[in-house]
Structure formats: C-alpha cells, structure tokens
Amino acid sequence: MKIDEDVYMSNRNIIVIGASAGGFSALRQLVADLPADLNAAIFIVWHISPDVRGVLAQVLGRETKLHAAHAVDGEPINMGRIYVAPPDHHLLVSDGVVRVTRGPKENRFRPAVDPLFRSAAHSYGRRVIGVILTGGMDDGSAGLWTIKQHGGVAIVQDPHEAEVPSMPENAVRAVAVDHVVPLREIATLLTRLTAEKLPDKAGSVIEEDARTKREIDIAMENETFHANILEYGELTPYTCPECKGVLAALKEGGRIRFRCHTGHAYSADSLLASITESIEEGLWSAIRNAQECIMLLNHMGDHFAEVNDPRVAAMYFKKAKEAEIRASIVRKAVLDHELLSADNIREQANK
C-alpha cells in the first residue's frame, strides 16, 4: 500500500495484538472484520507450542483481504500487512523494520506478548494501539502498561465474553485501559482509531525508558552480559526457574515482575506458577528415586537370602519397608500439592 507520509506520521497505525488460550478463533473473527484498506500495520503474538507447525498466518490470510504472513527478520514494516510471530520466536519492531528473534522466554513463552508491546511503544510511542484478547495468566499486561506510558492506546477484550478471561482481566487490573469492548466491536474501534489524527499534545511522561530499551535489547538477542538489567531492580532470594540465575524485582506502577541476568522474565503470577510446577516435578522425582531405592533394597535382600545370610537379608527388607513408608508420605504430598496462580487464589478467596 502506498503510504502518505503525513498521514503515516500523524495517525495511530501500529497495532499490536496479544492472545493465548482461545486466541485462534478470536483472531480469526477480529481480522475478518477489518477493512481491506486499513491504514495500519498489525503485529500478532499468539502463544503456541514451539514444536507445533504455525498455521495461524495462513488461516488469517483466508479470513481477510489484508496480507497476512509469518514475520521475517529484517523485513520493512508496511501498512495493510499482518505480521504473525512464528513459533518459538519473539516478534518485535524497531524503527521501520520487523525483528524476529529467539531471545530469552518471557512469562514462560516464546513468542511472548510483552516484548512485542514494549518494542512497539519504544519505537512508535503515541502511534501504537495495544490489544489484549482471550488467554490465560497475564502475559501482555506489562507491555500494555508500557504502551500507555508512551502515550499509546490500550484495548482489552471484555473478559466476560472471552473464552479464557485471565489475560483481559489482568490487563484491566494492571493498566488504565482506554477501551474494554466485546470482540465483535474491536475491528470497528481499530478502524476508527487509525482514521483519527493524533491530538496535538505531548505524550505521557515516559518513565524507565532506559530500562525499557535494555529489556528490548535482551529480547532482540543483543549482548545481555553487559546489559546488567539487575541494576534496575532489587535482588531477590528467588532463582530463575529456567536457568537458576538470581532474579531481580522490577517495579512499574503498582506491579512487580522479575528478570534474571541472562534475560528470562516473569510476572509475579508466571513465577508463582513456575515455582509450584517445579515443586511437583521435584516431588515426583523424589518418589521415583524412593521406588528405585525400595526395589534395590529388596533385590539385595533376596540376594543375601539366597546366599544364606538371613540376618543381613532381614535388615535389607526392613530398610525397604521404612523406605516405602517415607515414599507414601511423599506421594501424599504430591497428590495434595496444587499448582498456584493469581487466578485460582482469587477464585478460592471469593468462595
């Protein structure tokens, strides 16, 4: 699409969209409602397993007259295009070009929503419209907050109609959202916002811009050792579930999130989920080791019984029984263990 430079610079024309569980059908409906002459570039992150073949771009291309494709690192940003994050890659934007990287995971995902939103806000400021759709947990909330800090517009799908409401609900709690609307109304809203001229006023006061740039560099796979992201937060007693590095607490608004010196990032919710998952994995590992110990003890008991050494055999059998008792305690612990998140804690608190 040929771009009128004045319109290009004075309109909101960078649309970034994040979705997770339930996002496949939501994104199909959203792009199907967009006009073919939309004067904006659209960037989409949908959480998907790294070993799944990415078909979202092809499916969206059948739903709209806009050109939809997986983003390619280094390609120029053009209006009337839909750029989709490929599986196992972050999607970012940087001053006129698309970046596709395998930077550290954020909130346990790659692609993650926050890096895209953060990079768009840093490069395009008030021209950015951020959209959070259906999904679990809270990826995108931190990025949407950054968009607002840079003067952009924040849109959230109405949580009451979202297939999985957690991402929209967390975004509404964390950010002064401009619009909370049903999915069927988002395309019309985007069309209106992109057609409006930006008001002649200065953008919001931008805080923590150096830290934002540092975090973008991490996602873009720039050298992280010298980035020293830890200087922007307070060291915590927590370790990164991904690499076991120390985590620093980063505060923004009323939220707190965490990042390690190698680059992995977590919201408080995703960190809690990772830690409780690690506890379960550790307990099952302990049960496996206990069972192996019991089998070995019984095997050795049988061996000494066969060589006519009943006293030693009896002691091996006794130790096997004691190990069985301990294993049953650990098994009960793992069966009683629950995977925690902010959502299920709020749900239990409201019962």
| Active-site entry in 20, 123, 166, 274 | 20
Which entry of 47, 90, 122, 261 is annotated as an active-site residue?
47
Is there a domain that residue 134 lies in? yes
Residue 158 catalytic? Answer: no
**Residue 193 in contact with residue 183, Cβ under 8 Å?**
no
Q: Based on the structure, what is the number of domains in the chain?
A: 3
323 found inside a domain: yes
- Calculate mean pLDDT across residues 260-272: 92
For residues 198 and 124, give the distance between their C-alpha atoms in angstroms, rounded to a whole number: 13
CA triple 269-270-275, angle to 5 deg: 100
Euclidean distance between CA atoms 98 and 246, whole angstroms: 31
Flag whether 210 is in a domain: no
Do 61 and 163 fall into the same domain?
A: yes
Q: Does some domain include residue 337?
A: yes
pLDDT mean over 316-324: 96
Asked whether residue 213 is domain-assigned, the answer is no
Considering the candidates 139, 217, 269, 343, report the single residue annotated as catalytic.
139
Which tens digit of pLDDT belongs to each residue from 161-174? 999 999 999 999 99
Name which of 50, 102, 45 is nearest 73 in CA terms.
102
Q: Is 261 in the active site?
A: no
My answer on whether 250 and 329 are in the same domain is no
Burial 9-30 (b: 16+ CB within 10 A, else e): eebbbbbbbbbbbbbbebbbeb
Residue 47 is among the residues annotated as catalytic for this protein: yes
The alpha helices in 33-165, defined as continuous H runs, are: 56-63, 113-124, 141-149
- Indicate whether 61 and 128 sit together in one domain: yes
Average the pLDDT over 142-151 and give the result: 95
pTM: 0.87
Q: Which range of residues forms the domain containing residue 322?
A: 270-349
Residue 192: per-residue pLDDT: 97
217, part of any domain: no
Same domain, 18 and 162: yes
Residue 102 shares a structural domain with residue 249: no
Tell whether 115 is covered by a domain.
yes
Q: Quick one: 16 and 83 in the same domain?
A: yes
Instruction: List residues bridging with 228 in a β-sheet.
Output: none
Average pLDDT of the chain, as a whole number:
91
Confidence of residue 76 (pLDDT cuts 50, 70, 90): very high
pLDDT at 5: 42
